[in-house]
Amino acid sequence: MRHVLALVLALAGAGVSAEEVTSAPGALLRALDKVSGETTDLEVARGATVPFGRLAVTLSDCRYPVADPSANAYAHLTIVDTATGAAAFDGWMVAASPALSALDDPRYDVWVIRCRSE
């Protein structure tokens, strides 16, 4: 998993090595219902799952740069479409580059805002 994060960091051009990040106990995500135009902030603890529409969003880890915690956030998410039971997304999302690794769903969008330190 550390190698995957290092690759995501390199692709994002963040200039931060995997050794310079640390895990947080949770994350703040933002979710958009493209049909209604409504956005919802989701606070998710590491290892927890929260519902959004027909999606179930699970946070495995949220990491941030030790030297500058507000600079970026890297969250490993698993997003399951509860209507079909299929994984809609499973991987790392980068707050500074949301298009780098994004949820591909016709109705919903989910992205990382920041790691939660409390």
Give the pLDDT confidence score for residue 108 in this predicted structure.
96
* Residue range 25-82, pLDDT digits in tens: 999 999 999 999 999 999 999 999 999 999 999 999 999 998 887 889 999 999 999 9
Please give the C-alpha separations between residue 26 and each of 66, 105, 112, in angstroms, as whole numbers.
16, 24, 11
Domain ranges of the chain: 2-116
* Residue range 11-25, pLDDT digits in tens: 455 554 454 889 999
How many angstroms separate the CA atoms of 68 and 96, rounded?
A: 13
More confident residue, 23 or 2: 23
What pTM was estimated for this model as a whole?
0.81
* Residue 22 backbone class (left: φ over 0; alpha: ψ -120 to 50; beta: rest): beta
- Rg from Cα positions in the chain: 14
How many angstroms separate the CA atoms of 9 and 74, rounded?
A: 8
- Cite the DSSP H helix spans in 1-118: 2-12
- C-beta neighbour count of 21 within 10 angstroms: 25
* Residue range 91-101, pLDDT digits in tens: 999 999 888 88
The enclosing H or E element of 43 equals strand 38-45
